[in-house]
Structure 1
Amino acid sequence: MKALLNFFVDLCLLRAAPQDLPASGVILAGTFLLNILVSLLMIVDARHGPGLALIESLFETFLMLTVLYLALRTRRLRGRFQQSATALMGSGLLLGLLALPLVAWSHRSESTEAGLLLIIWSIVVLGHIIRHTFGLTLNIGVALGVLYTMLAWSMVARLFPVT
């Protein structure tokens, strides 16, 4: 367990790559479930009640995994799905855990600098994972990460408006 946590820390610090992970359905399922839980906690606190927050969290996660699967399938790299999906879920989990106190704090203050830095870093980590998954440069991976993030946020905002 500690080795896995160290791996995700190294991944978020751009010192590890998805292909360094063992291909394991158990690890993918565990990081998926924990990622959903952390995402749920952020959304409940920030925007919605538990039911709608769960649906939004599941939608966001399945959207990411579906886009990853389709992109890998298009590039004929489906064998990379499990490790890349685990990298996305694990890094999302770790960054989400870091974001939880920021989400709570942002409700009490108007300061958003720390949250913005975490969002930027999460896009860099996403770009790092994309880079290794598809054999691209970090710049192109980050650009694709920005594009994906903007499109995903737009879809989520339309489907789950803040009330």
Structure 2
Amino acid sequence: MQQLIKTVMQLCFLRAGPQHLPAKSSYLLLSALVYLSVRWLSAPWLVVVETNFITVVVELCAIAALVYLFLNLVHKPERALQTLEALWLVSIVIWMISFPVLAQIQQSDEGELQISDNIQVVLLILMVWELLVTANIFRHAVAQKFSIGILIALAYSALLYWVVNGLTLMF
């Protein structure tokens, strides 16, 4: 377990790729359950999105579907397990780091969010960091340059946002 945590931290600092994670379905299931828990626990702080359990489950399934679809398209389906594991574990770390930041967001009496400039900067840094880590994960998954990983991560993030918002409107 200690080696897993060390590898996840190396992923967060772009020093490792998903291939460095153990390719075990038990670790994938564990990372999915922890991801689900962390995202669901962050729901009270995300008043704009009104995240609930169904939304988080939809997000989890959408991530899995997009990764499997993409890796099948590039003929590397064998890398899906470790890629998913890496994406979920890194997101867990970044979300846990963001908890204190999200707790600082206030809501006015009119229902508008009041986010200080400092909080906005920190949230932007966290978003860019997650994008870079996602790019690194995809770069390793498809064995391409980092610039290709960034393009894949941007497309993945946009598509994930679109799919999750579209599907959660149905609930």
The TM-score normalised by the length of structure 1 is 0.89
What secondary structure sits across from 1:27 in the alignment?
helix
* Residue in structure 2 matched with residue 20 of structure 1 by the alignment: 20
Distance 1:19 1:134 in 2: 11
Q: Closer, same or farther in 2 for the Cα pair 1:24/1:99, shift >3 Å?
A: same
- Does residue 150 (structure 1) correspond to residue 158 (structure 2)? The answer is yes
Distance 1:148 1:23 in 2: 22
Q: Which runs of 5+ in 1 are unaligned?
A: none
* Residue in structure 1 matched with residue 101 of structure 2 by the alignment: 102
Structure showing greater radius of gyration is: 2
- Does residue 68 (structure 1) correspond to residue 67 (structure 2)? The answer is yes
Percent identical across equivalent pairs? 25
Are the equivalent residues in 2 in contact too, given 1:43–1:57 (CA < 8 A)?
Answer: no
* Residue in structure 1 matched with residue 53 of structure 2 by the alignment: 54
The TM-score normalised by the length of structure 2 is 0.85
* Residue in structure 1 matched with residue 147 of structure 2 by the alignment: 139
Distance 1:118 1:157 in 2: 21
Distance 2:155 2:105 in 1: 25
Deviation at 1:29, TM superposition (A): 0.7
Distance 1:151 1:78 in 2: 19
Deviation at 1:44, TM superposition (A): 3.2
* Residue in structure 1 matched with residue 43 of structure 2 by the alignment: 43
Distance 1:109 1:118 in 2: 15
Are the equivalent residues in 2 in contact too, given 1:34–1:93 (CA < 8 A)?
Answer: yes
* Residue in structure 2 matched with residue 32 of structure 1 by the alignment: 32
Runs of 4+, deviation exceeding 3 Å: 154-161
Distance 2:152 2:76 in 1: 17
Deviates more, 1:67-76 or 1:126-135: 67-76
What secondary structure sits across from 1:136 in the alignment?
coil
Distance 1:132 1:65 in 2: 17
Q: Give the total of aligned pairs.
A: 159
Output one character per residue of 1:123-155: Cα deviation in whole Å (capped at 9) or x when no partner: 100000000001111111112211221232234
Are the equivalent residues in 1 in contact too, given 2:68–2:80 (CA < 8 A)?
Answer: yes
Deviation at 1:122, TM superposition (A): 0.2
Q: Which runs of 5+ in 2 are unaligned?
A: 107-113
